[in-house]
Structure 1
């Protein structure tokens, strides 16, 4: 089959690789759609921290936001899975440690992360082998675009849940990228007044068109209280700003990752009685995200600017956007789309 392989910093090519085989407890999925994520870009550029901690190494096969249909099952897997449209959990815990047994497999010390950690091949390929325990079935109302947005949506929903908001509360989201806009969508669906902060330009314009209460630059924020602040940015300066802006006794949620360490003065956290929450992975919220998409409560398909083939992914990772792309921040990949498709 064909798969995208990153062989080193800023080096990626589509190669013929062996077809995956469903081992015991696994299935093989024909991949229908894959999202290109900021994490994929960091692996491509060589900046991703896992490359420096030994949790990942080149060559690697990216892709962790995906959906497809099950075409083969391994030993011990119920054949009822054959033909089902599915997406899957990125985080694959060992299943034996105290974290996994406690329902925290997404922070298992020995976990694999599909297309991210431990060399587990990702979904930027025609087919993917994955444990059946990681699968989530997709209803017919969740199409390919929504299916490949389940993983980022699960991250965003976890951030909203961590913010502990009630209808009528006011949320500030720092960073109007894919995750920030998904956070805003899930929060608004729960009756929350949403404001976003980002640099002036196209991202702000796109976010403003979604009708949120306010889209601002940091220096133009109105002097209103925020019941929670979610940092979905990649700026090392914004985690401290989140603590500064949140109401005393409320919550800040950190889901964005900067390329360098950020400083937060814990004295401010304590003196404001602020709760700070970090979010890693979508695992606990995948099912609820699928339900929200299936019901139409949240429909983020307009975040997808374009869908390209595998042969264009290297260019996308380098910052290219295809001719005719929409204003959304996300690019999707159809692994079976021909090399000339844009």
Structure 2
């Protein structure tokens, strides 16, 4: 089968690789759509922290935001049948440790992360191997473009849950990329007045179209305090700035990960009685996100800029936006395009 393989920093190619074979408890999925993520960019650039720690290494097949149909099932699989349309959890815990047994498999020390950690092959391929326990079946009301947004949507949903806001509250989202716009979507659905701070005028315009109360260019936002501030950006300076905009007894939720450490004055946390919450992975938010997407249409026309073939992935990861792309920040891939 064809897959996109990263051989090293800024070196990627479409290659013929052996198709997966399902073992006990596993399934093989025919992939129909994959979203490219900032994590994939970091893996391609060679800057991702797991490459430094040895938890991931080249060659690798990335891709963890996906949708497809079950093609084969392995021995012992009774929960899903061939032909079912599915997405799945990125985080694959050992299922033996205390964290896994207590529903915290996403922070299992021995976990794989599909396309990211432990060299479990990712979804930028025609087929993907997945444990049946990680699968989530999809209703017909969630099309492929939306289904491939379920993983970042799960991260956004968890961030909004952690923010603890609702009607009558205010919030600010830093970073109007895909994750930030999905966070905005869920906040607006809960009746929260949301301001958005970002660097790019096009992204801020999308935030306005998706219901932001106000948008501000980074560095020029007013000295407003909010009940919750959610950082979905990758700016190392943002957490310190965001903290200053949290109202006393409010919450700062951190979802984005910068390439370098952030410097934050933690005295402000104590003096302001502020809760600071970190969010890793979509796992606990996948089911809720699928329900939300099935009942309240996600604006994929605003979020997804283009869908490309595997042959174009290297250019996109290198920062070259497809010529035909719309304004949406997310680029998705159809691995079936350009089959040889």
Give the TM-score category using the shorter length.
Answer: over 0.9
The 8 Å contact of residues 25 and 77 in structure 1, kept in 2 or not, is answered as yes
Residues 215-224 or 140-149, more deviating: 215-224
Tell me the residue number matched to 2:291.
291
Question: The residue matched to 1:293 in structure 2 has which SS?
Answer: helix
- Pairing 1:56–2:56 present: yes
| CA displacement at 1:129 relative to structure 2 | 0.8
Tell me the residue number matched to 2:270.
270
- Pairing 1:85–2:85 present: yes
| CA displacement at 1:339 relative to structure 2 | 6.8
The 8 Å contact of residues 159 and 183 in structure 1, kept in 2 or not, is answered as yes
The 8 Å contact of residues 35 and 63 in structure 1, kept in 2 or not, is answered as yes
| CA displacement at 1:321 relative to structure 2 | 1.5
Aligned pairs for 1:311-322 within 5 A: 311-322=311-322
Q: TM-score, normalised to structure 1's length?
A: 0.97
Q: Distance in 1 between matches of 2:79 and 2:87?
A: 17
The 8 Å contact of residues 146 and 301 in structure 1, kept in 2 or not, is answered as no
Q: Distance in 2 between matches of 1:136 and 1:310?
A: 24
The 8 Å contact of residues 184 and 210 in structure 2, kept in 1 or not, is answered as no
Q: Which digits, 9 at most, give the CA deviation of each residue in 1:43-72, with x for residues without a partner?
A: 000110110011100011000000000010
Tell me the residue number matched to 1:208.
208
Aligned pairs for 1:176-191 within 5 A: 176-191=176-191
The 8 Å contact of residues 71 and 82 in structure 2, kept in 1 or not, is answered as yes
| CA displacement at 1:206 relative to structure 2 | 2.6
Aligned pairs for 1:14-33 within 5 A: 14-33=14-33
- From the superposition, tell whether residues 169 and 79 of structure 1 become closer, same or farther in structure 2 (CA, over 3 Å): closer
Structure 1 unaligned segments of length 5 or more: list them. Answer: none
Tell me the residue number matched to 1:261.
261
The 8 Å contact of residues 79 and 132 in structure 2, kept in 1 or not, is answered as no
| CA displacement at 1:265 relative to structure 2 | 1.4
Q: Distance in 2 between matches of 1:236 and 1:68?
A: 35
Tell me the residue number matched to 1:150.
150
| CA displacement at 1:266 relative to structure 2 | 1.4
Aligned pairs for 1:166-245 within 5 A: 166-245=166-245
| CA displacement at 1:211 relative to structure 2 | 3.5
Residues 198-207 or 316-325, more deviating: 198-207
Tell me the residue number matched to 2:43.
43
Q: Distance in 2 between matches of 1:295 and 1:248?
A: 35
Q: Which digits, 9 at most, give the CA deviation of each residue in 1:124-176, with x for residues without a partner?
A: 00000100000000000011001100000000000000001021211100111
The 8 Å contact of residues 30 and 69 in structure 1, kept in 2 or not, is answered as yes
Computed over aligned residues only, the root mean square deviation of the Cα atoms, in angstroms, reads: 1.3
| CA displacement at 1:287 relative to structure 2 | 0.3
- Pairing 1:116–2:113 present: no
The 8 Å contact of residues 2 and 15 in structure 1, kept in 2 or not, is answered as yes
Q: TM-score, normalised to structure 2's length?
A: 0.97
Structure 2 unaligned segments of length 5 or more: list them. Answer: none
- From the superposition, tell whether residues 264 and 174 of structure 1 become closer, same or farther in structure 2 (CA, over 3 Å): same
Q: Distance in 1 between matches of 2:217 and 2:302?
A: 23
- Pairing 1:8–2:8 present: yes
Q: Distance in 2 between matches of 1:282 and 1:147?
A: 13
Q: Distance in 2 between matches of 1:143 and 1:74?
A: 27
The 8 Å contact of residues 224 and 245 in structure 2, kept in 1 or not, is answered as no
| CA displacement at 1:203 relative to structure 2 | 1.9
- From the superposition, tell whether residues 8 and 200 of structure 1 become closer, same or farther in structure 2 (CA, over 3 Å): closer
Aligned residues: 340
| CA displacement at 1:300 relative to structure 2 | 4.0
- Pairing 1:250–2:250 present: yes
Question: The residue matched to 2:99 in structure 1 has which SS?
Answer: helix
